[in-house]
């Protein structure tokens, strides 16, 4: 059976079997891409693919893999197997009295290796600090310009974004949060070693080992199925 591309677009837009809006959008875009080269597609092939898309996968909630987050944080999934964590942390201490916003974008299934981006926002001093492209194997304390804690007898200690990410989707170790460290003549002194300050810092959003291997395998398999579908359409048209 052959039908026009207009009919296929209408099918994709209204078919109740398509559960996710983003999947409908992607399919519409791909149909439009081949519209200039062919006038017909295989309806049976596309219908079978759409029905398969709606079948639930086991353990598809990526946020659940992170376990319990701090109460100031919320995790959601803006895209297929993508993780966004948003935090609003209030520090109310004689050492540090401020509110810090963090937005963490984690991509555990990136083709180049697991990656994350971090945005830090502090409104009182109009600070917006971004670190992008942190990759598996990276470990660093990123000083946050303009932010410091005050410690009696020590002075001002700069606030750092402490990040560690290593491993792969089979076993990904992540430690990410806020800390405060100062270089001393003989060693580096951090918040956990300073009485009083160690009650509020370090503060971690993520700290543990996480497994995403089966989720990443699902994504890879889905990409392969999509490619086969459009190859089939181009061949039979």
Strand 115-122 relative to strand 97-107: parallel, antiparallel, unpaired? antiparallel
- 83-99 burial, b at 16+ Cβ within 10 Å, e below that, comes to bbbebebebeeebbebe
Q: What's the rounded mean pLDDT across residues 46-53?
A: 44
**What pLDDT sits at residue 228?**
53
70 contacts 205 by C-beta, under 8 angstroms: yes
165 contacts 173 by C-beta, under 8 angstroms: yes
At 171-187, the pLDDT tens digits run 999 999 999 999 888 88
**What pLDDT sits at residue 236?**
66
**What pLDDT sits at residue 165?**
98
Q: What's the rounded mean pLDDT across residues 217-236?
A: 64
At 108-156, the pLDDT tens digits run 999 899 999 999 999 888 999 999 999 999 999 999 999 999 998 888 9
Judged against a pLDDT cut of 50, whether residue 45 lies above it is answered with no
Q: Which residue(s) pair with 84 in the sheet?
A: 76, 105
> Is residue 109 classed exposed, middle or buried when 0-12, 13-18 and 19+ CB atoms within 10 A define those classes?
buried
126 contacts 111 by C-beta, under 8 angstroms: no
Judged against a pLDDT cut of 70, whether residue 102 lies above it is answered with yes
Judged against a pLDDT cut of 70, whether residue 40 lies above it is answered with no
At 25-34, the pLDDT tens digits run 544 454 445 4
Q: What's the rounded mean pLDDT across residues 191-200?
A: 95
Which of the pair, 235 or 227, is modelled with greater confidence?
Answer: 235
At 52-87, the pLDDT tens digits run 444 434 445 789 999 999 999 999 998 777 899 999
190 contacts 230 by C-beta, under 8 angstroms: no
**What pLDDT sits at residue 80?**
73
Q: Name residues whose C-beta falls within 8 Å of residue 205's C-beta, 6 or more positions apart in sequence.
A: 69, 70, 73, 85, 87, 102, 104, 176, 177
């Amino acid at each position: 059976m052959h039908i026009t591309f207009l009919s296929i677009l209408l099918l994709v837009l209204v078919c109740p079997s398509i559960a996710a809006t983003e999947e409908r959008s992607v399919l519409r875009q791909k149909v439009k891409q081949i519209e200039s080269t062919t006038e017909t597609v295989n309806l049976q092939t596309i219908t079978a693919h759409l029905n398969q898309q709606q079948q639930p996968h086991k353990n598809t909630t990526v946020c659940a893999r992170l376990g319990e987050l701090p109460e100031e944080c919320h995790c959601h999934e803006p895209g297929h197997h993508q993780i966004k964590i948003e935090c609003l942390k209030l520090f109310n201490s004689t050492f540090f009295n401020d509110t810090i916003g963090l937005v963490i974008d984690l991509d555990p299934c990136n083709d180049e290796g697991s990656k994350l981006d971090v945005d830090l926002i502090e409104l009182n001093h109009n600070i917006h600090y971004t670190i992008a492209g942190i990759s598996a194997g990276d470990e660093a304390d990123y000083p946050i310009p303009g932010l410091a804690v005050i410690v009696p007898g020590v002075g001002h200690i700069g606030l750092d974004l402490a990040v560690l990410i290593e491993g792969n989707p089979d076993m990904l170790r992540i430690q990410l949060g806020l800390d405060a460290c100062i270089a001393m003549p003989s060693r580096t002194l951090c918040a956990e070693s300073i009485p009083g300050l160690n009650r509020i810092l370090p503060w971690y959003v993520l700290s543990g080992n996480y497994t995403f291997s089966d989720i990443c395998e699902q994504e890879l398999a889905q990409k392969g199925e999509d490619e086969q579908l459009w190859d089939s359409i181009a061949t039979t048209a």
